[in-house]
């Protein structure tokens, strides 16, 4: 197939998932795959093995489960399966995705506490320790790694040390970071780490994955509060039927994901991809500051995946106009999601490179219609 002849994207997606993917990833979807045939199941097993290997050298201790749906389905599947009856979840929210974990627990009628540190501050480690010391009922602790609401990168290693000191099960939503920054899952002793196809691995949306410590997952039999989101049962079927999903699997999306994993490897693996994302982020922030923009977060808390900028203070600024002008110039950005300030967000992940960031900066400058 002549991949270059595939249509170009009308614009670059600077949104943190779905994001811009390569033509070769999209081209991988142009074939139909039987969901229970051995060829396809073999592919699924390769995806699972590769993801486990990306997460840790201790592949003997961990296993990967794939789950249909968007990232939230996988977070819900993990919380709903990992918490036993009578268990209690402590969430450390500092944005919408942390809040969503609390919402999931409440919807599933799981006892849940939240140590909310607000949108521009990382979790309070002293408070975490005090909470765990005080409340024996807590069995599990959950945190978002890259809080996509702001771009905050939470200190999952330091949090993990405290969680493990008190012997709790550790759940990390690494949706918008896994594959884009090295994470030593076994070293940090994470029990369940969750991500999805359409973030830093640069696949298309349709499923997510949970990399689980085997001994933690094995304790979850019969605990799920949902049939289709039963993480344990999904794992058992994939394991015993060697790559079979319980219900219709997103075959085309999985095929595209295989290609995305091959492209991650060709790029030089996670460490090299992380360098590219950091270069994208540096180019963006340096250039935006030159144009007079301010970042919402202090640099020390900022991750390389998505960055929030305060809206310009000029009264003539309106996000929609700014957005439309940038879109016409080939870039789609993200509205702000914080409640306390007017801001917009720009993602730096996907098939996006520093040269694209340079072009974006030119487009931003040309779209500041109220200036000059």
Ligand X SMILES: *Cc1c(COP(=O)(O)O)cnc(C)c1O
- Give the interface with ligand X as residue ranges (CB under 6 A): 16-17, 70-72, 97, 144, 148, 173, 175-176, 196
CB of 319 to ligand X, least distance (A): 20
Round to whole Å and give the CA distance between 117 and 355: 36
For ligand X, give the closer residue by CB, 82 or 132: 82
CB atoms within 10 A of CB 248: 9
Residue of this chain nearest to ligand X (CB atom): 71
For ligand X, give the closer residue by CB, 97 or 277: 97
CB of 367 to ligand X, least distance (A): 26
For ligand X, give the closer residue by CB, 91 or 363: 91
For ligand X, give the closer residue by CB, 202 or 367: 202
CB of 19 to ligand X, least distance (A): 10
For ligand X, give the closer residue by CB, 145 or 255: 145
For ligand X, give the closer residue by CB, 132 or 175: 175
CB of 349 to ligand X, least distance (A): 10
CB of 306 to ligand X, least distance (A): 8
The residue among 185, 176, 163 whose CA lies nearest residue 205 is 176
The residue among 335, 42, 358, 23 whose CA lies nearest residue 202 is 23
For ligand X, give the closer residue by CB, 28 or 172: 172
CB of 175 to ligand X, least distance (A): 3
CB atoms within 10 A of CB 369: 12
CB of 8 to ligand X, least distance (A): 25
């Amino acid at each position: 197939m002549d991949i270059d002849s595939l249509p170009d994207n009308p614009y670059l997606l600077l949104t943190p998932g779905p994001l811009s993917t390569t033509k070769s990833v999209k081209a991988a979807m142009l074939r139909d795959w039987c969901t229970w045939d051995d060829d396809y199941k073999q592919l699924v097993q390769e995806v699972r093995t590769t993801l486990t290997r990306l997460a840790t050298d201790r592949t003997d201790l961990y296993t990967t489960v794939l789950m249909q749906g968007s990232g939230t389905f996988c977070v819900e599947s993990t919380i709903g399966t990992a918490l036993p009856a009578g268990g209690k979840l402590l969430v450390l929210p500092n944005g919408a995705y942390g809040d969503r974990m609390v919402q999931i627990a409440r919807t599933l009628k799981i006892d849940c506490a939240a140590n909310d540190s607000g949108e521009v501050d990382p979790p309070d480690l002293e408070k975490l320790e005090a909470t765990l010391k005080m409340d024996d009922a807590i069995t599990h602790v959950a945190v978002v790694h890259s809080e996509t609401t702001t771009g905050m990168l939470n200190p999952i290693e330091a949090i993990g040390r405290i969680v493990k000191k008190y012997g709790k099960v550790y759940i990390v939503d690494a949706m918008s970071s896994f594959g884009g920054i090295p994470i030593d899952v076994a070293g940090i002793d994470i029990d369940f780490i969750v991500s999805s196809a359409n973030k830093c691995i640069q696949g298309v949306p349709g499923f997510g994955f949970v990399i689980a410590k085997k001994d933690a997952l094995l304790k979850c039999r019969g605990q799920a509060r949902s049939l289709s989101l039963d993480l344990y049962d999904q794992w058992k079927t994939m394991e015993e039927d060697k790559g079979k999903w319980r219900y219709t699997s997103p075959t085309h999306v999985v095929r595209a994901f295989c290609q995305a994993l091959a492209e991650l490897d060709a790029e030089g693996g996670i460490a090299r991809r992380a360098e590219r994302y950091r270069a994208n982020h540096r180019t963006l922030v340096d250039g935006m500051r030159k144009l007079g923009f301010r970042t919402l977060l202090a640099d020390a808390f900022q991750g390389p995946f998505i960055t929030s900028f305060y809206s310009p203070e000029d009264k003539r600024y309106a996000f929609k106009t700014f957005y439309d002008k940038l879109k016409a110039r080939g870039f789609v950005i993200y509205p702000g999601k914080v409640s306390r300030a007017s801001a917009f967000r720009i993602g730096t992940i996907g098939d996006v490179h520093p040269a694209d960031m340079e072009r974006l900066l030119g487009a931003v400058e040309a779209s500041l219609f109220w200036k000059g």
